[in-house]
Chain A
Amino acid sequence: MKERLKTAVDEAISAGASYADARYVSGKLQSVSMRNGKTEIVMENEDRGFGIRVLAKGAWGFASTCKEDKKSIKKCVKDAVKIAKASSKVKKENVNIGSARPVDAKYRTHIKKEPFDVPIEKKIEILLEAHQKMKDFEKVNLTEGEINLWKQTTDFLSSEGSFIEQEIYHTGGGVYATAQEGMEVQVRSYPAALGGDYRAAGFEFIEELDLAGNAAKLADEAEKLLKAPQCPHGETDLILTGSQLALQVHESCGHPIELDRVLGMEASYAGTSFLTPEKQGNFKYGSEVVNITADATLEGGLGSFGYDHEGIPAQRTEIVKKGIFMDYLTSRETASKFGRESNASMRADGWNRIPLIRMTNINLEPGDWELEEIIKDTSDGIIMENTRSWSIDEKRINFQFGTEVAYKIKDGSIEGLLRNPTYTGITPEFWGSCDAVADKKTWRLWGIPGCGKGEPMQVMHVGHGASAARFKNTTVGVGKWKD
């Protein structure tokens, strides 16, 4: 494939491109899902093809094809250059991507157990065992579970002389119980909502999750939630745990630090950002206990890799340091606008998409408190767990989240369940109210396999490390709830 990529890139340069990079990507997905004890989906997808990105006359063009013969790839290259030249008819200045050191490298996710070699019967058995543990709860009308595996191989070659081969595995899953009575429906999920939890790992991660071992607890709590008191409206101290906190970091930090958003390049769809360039290095994003990093070098993260899809090596960047906003996620083009080098945040979700600035692993660094200490220190508050709904404005300022469950805290003890919990806030005020972050003991690198961005839509796998954190005087219980 290296030779074919080189031929394509050389042809692009001959056709008038000043820069070209080509990717051949081969992806495999296996999905096993269970619903009420029946395995409704056992599916595999294999997707492969060729894509080439070029700069010609100072503008970008991209073309891709599922056909791998020489003639089709040649046509694809010609199309990319033609498209770039058409783009140049509506431009104000030439695109500048700076320079990059050529790299010849390989990268592979470290796995212990090849997930695609594990028989499907074994995966079905795990999910059916979970169903058995949930099915006898009277009010639980829906049990679900899923195991998903991805493997993606990318060969990247650029006109600057880079050639990189990467093989990445992502594995994960979850189980869910839905209870219903009258006009009330409640869901509990393990290990997280929205598809479960995922890791850059092999099948050993599924075994560690112990989906069946945690299933009964879900069903029990989903039933109990049906009769729990409605989360009241008001201002209170709010503790967010693990996967919910991970999504909060994703929405209110991960997205606004994407420099393409800041520069208006996503204005037509996902939106822009409140973290405008003059804020870098001086804006109070959060309190002093808030430290956030972007780190594509972390083992096991969905946002971990060897090189991004511009051939830049994975790295760690300080995003927020003691509450002050420090840096962005960048690409070669966007970093060049500030006289800097890219920090390797460009990824495409397949051969048929251009790379965009995507989150890597965006982590709330652990703090000094034990979670139990935070709870004990809270005289009147609520602890919320597992995302149920999420929404944020296009600049990433006003947000509202709903969770599966909340627990009332009174005088340092957990008192009881609350149903339909929601909370809302304004990003810098919210993070400014953070006064306690839990330590490494409860810190976990969560995997979110469904981050959407771009037109056409790209779905990226990203990681977020988080433990738990407390936020003072947060508005909870949003909306009019009729019983």
Chain B
Amino acid sequence: MLGEKKIKKILEKALLSSSADQTEVLIILFDSKLSRFANSVIHQNMAEYNAIFFTRAAIGKKVGASSSSGFDMERMKKTVWRACENARQQKENPDFFGFPHPAPFHKISSVDEETAKLSPEKMASLIKIITDKADSAGATASGAFWVQFQEMAVMNSNGIFCYFPSTSVSITTVITRGEYTGYSEDSARAVRNVDFEAVADEAIEASASLNHIAEIEPGEYTIVAEEYAIATMLEHLSSMSFTATSVEEGKSFLAGNWGKKVVGENISIWDDGFDARGFVLPFDFEGIPKKRVNFIRDGKAVGVVYDHYYASKEGKTSTGHAVPPNPEYNEPLPMNIFMNSGDSSLEDMIRSTERGLLIKRFDYIREVHPLKTMITGMTRDGVFLIEKGEKVARVKNLRFTQSIADALSCVEKISLGRKLVMGRENYANVPSSLVVPKLKIGSFNFTGKTTF
């Protein structure tokens, strides 16, 4: 760990080397380990020590950006110089109103020392908990165990300096029993808060065949969707609809419906970087403190996330959702998504279902039409037929083509408990997260099926 003082000195030196009117420097240092296992064997085992340095330089209203790996000063100064040169060759952007100014924020550290020092041997022994349980169940285990220690800091020529150190842990596993698979995952800031035995047990249970396989046809079904499925669906909804960019581009179904009902009134969805039930992130990649943003409250469209650029364009204040300068995702994005809980349970949802499907997770979702929030994807790693309130048979995986807004308009039950699920997207190795419940959805449109 370099520490706040050392990192501040490094960034100050880099900033001072700039010839621009305004400059921003961002650094993300990390020590990241990932052990992958397949067929109950550790087959890929990796460690990465890296620092990603970003800079933006503004000369009047001309903005250039640059990034590099490593934190030797010569390389960083060259990166700053390149950003300035890019700015010089740029055209003026009339919508650019400068980089942000400092705002007070609550200093947080999310470092767990044991996690930061976790050895490869210890990681292997934790994986062995899962592979041994799989072996005992006559199954094999695949998965990934990720541990990271990270320091993130932002500084700009307007006086911003923010620093945040953290550790992150994530374990995912797919258990394979013959033709059938089951999935489970867990994430936390500290390895002691991850229950490897429970992860193995859950995935093993989801890989059960129940000794009865049912062939069902595509169509509309009531579904009981577990947290992994809901999290994936919400991630797609948030990038399609919950950003200032998607509103500006006419792609968000919230636009033009502010204050109006857009989904069921039992649904609320928001982003909160300070809520410790998720992966806390106190400020964004421009150094603006995170604000809680309500996207949907009691079914009504409320708001979207902004970075400083989009907020300035509209005469608003940034909500603290900038991502690192990157050609691939040049827009503000939510990173800490929450959905409300209810008062139901998995058992209650199953018991109350006359005929439906219990779904572990969704896979390979893609957006078919953003304004209609229509997505397509597959079920994966655990689909069961529910009849007369009981889980009665395993079902082959199905394809769905469904409007998310329509699905969220017919939610019949919401679980009391919620689960922290790591987001599929991370930004310069900074993880995103969702905290979501299980949902019983009255109608979900399955348009195809596969052979397994």
Contacts and interface: CB of A to CB of B under 8 A. Distances in A.
A271 to B, nearest CB: 8
Contact of A41 (B181, B251, B325, B378): B325
A132 B212 CA distance: 62
Interface stretch (A306-314, A319-327, A394-402): A394-402
Contacts of A394: 363-364, 378, 380
Given A391-B378, A424-B448, A48 B70 contact: yes
Given A31-B327, A42-B86, A89 B374 contact: no
A271 B121 CA distance: 27
Contact of B368 (A79, A389, A393): A389
Interface in B149-177: 172-174, 176
Most chain B CB within 10 A, of A62, A266, A420, A480, is at: A480
Nearest to B130: A90
A38 interface: yes
A227 to B, nearest CB: 16
Interface stretch (B17-25, B41-49, B226-234, B266-274): B41-49
B240 to A, nearest CB: 11
A90 B47 contact: no
B394 to A, nearest CB: 16
Contact of B249 (A68, A76, A141): A141
B41 A268 contact: no
A120 B86 contact: yes
A69 B131 CA distance: 38
A323 B161 CA distance: 61
B386 to A, nearest CB: 22
A442 B93 CA distance: 40
A407 B136 CA distance: 56
B45 A42 contact: no
B368 A479 contact: yes
Contacts of B181: 267
B50 A264 contact: no
B45 A62 contact: yes
Interface in A315-369: 352-354
B127 A354 contact: no
A33 B139 CA distance: 49
Interface string B89-122: 1110111000000000000000000000001110
A90 B131 contact: yes
A86 B125 CA distance: 9
Interface stretch (A179-187, A287-295, A465-473): A179-187
Contacts of A121: 89
Which of A44, A60, A354, A426 counts the most chain B CB atoms within 10 A?
A44
B366 A391 contact: yes
A100 to B, nearest CB: 20
Is chain B's binding surface mostly helix, strand, loop or mixed? strand
Nearest to A475: B448
Contacts of A398: 378, 397, 399, 448-451
Contacts of A283: none
B93 A389 contact: no
A377 to B, nearest CB: 28
B399 A124 contact: no
Given A40-B330, A456-B32, A90 B41 contact: yes
Contacts of A153: none
Identify the interface centre among A85, A424, A479, A480: most chain B CB within 10 Å of its CB: A479
Interface string A60-79: 11111111100010001001
A478 B131 contact: no
Contact of B445 (A86, A265, A420, A479): A479
A43 B65 contact: yes
Nearest to B78: A46
Contact of B69 (A40, A49, A400): A49
Contacts of B142: 264, 267-268
Contacts of B451: 274, 395, 397-398, 426
A19 interface: no
Contacts of B43: 60, 87, 265
Given A63-B46, A391-B365, A480-B445, A91 B41 contact: yes
Contact of A395 (B32, B37, B66, B450): B450
B226 to A, nearest CB: 17
Nearest to B363: A394
B318 interface: no
B38 interface: yes
B64 A42 contact: yes
A264 B176 contact: yes
A424 B447 contact: yes
Interface in A365-416: 388-395, 397-398, 400, 402
Contacts of A72: 49
A178 to B, nearest CB: 7
B368 A45 contact: no
A82 interface: yes
Interface in A411-452: 420, 422, 424, 426
Interface string B359-393: 00001111111111010111010000000000000
A392 B64 contact: no
Contacts of B50: 49, 64-66, 352
Interface residues on B, range: 35 or more
A479 B374 contact: yes
B376 A267 contact: no
Nearest to A119: B89
B378 A393 contact: yes
Contact of A87 (B45, B63, B172, B376): B45
A46 B45 contact: no
A148 interface: yes
B66 A44 contact: yes
A478 B377 CA distance: 12
With a 10 A CB-CB cut-off, give which of A33, A76, A142, A400 has the most chain B CB atoms: A400
Nearest to B75: A46
B36 interface: yes
Interface string A142-168: 100010100000000000000000000
B68 to A, nearest CB: 5
A56 B371 CA distance: 53
Nearest to B309: A40
Contacts of B41: 90-92
A263 B365 CA distance: 24
B284 to A, nearest CB: 18
Interface string B175-187: 0100001000000
Nearest to A387: B366
A83 interface: yes
Contacts of B174: 267-268
A82 B364 contact: no
Contact of B70 (A49, A265, A269): A49
Contacts of B128: 89-90
B34 interface: yes
B208 interface: no
B352 interface: no
Interface string B337-367: 0000000000000000000000000011111
B434 interface: no
A85 B72 CA distance: 31
Interface of A: 31, 33, 38-49, 59-68, 72, 76, 79-80, 82-87, 89-92, 119-121, 124, 128, 141-142, 146, 148, 178, 180, 183-185, 263-269, 271, 274, 352-354, 388-395, 397-398, 400, 402, 420, 422, 424, 426, 455-456, 478-482
Given A267-B142, A402-B376, 16 more contacts: A39-B90, A44-B66, A59-B45, A86-B124, A90-B127, A92-B39, A180-B250, A264-B142, A265-B43, A267-B39, A267-B174, A268-B143, A271-B363, A394-B380, A398-B399, A422-B368
18 contacts: A39-B90, A46-B75, A46-B78, A63-B46, A63-B48, A82-B120, A87-B35, A87-B45, A148-B327, A183-B372, A185-B371, A267-B39, A268-B173, A269-B172, A274-B451, A389-B367, A398-B399, A478-B448
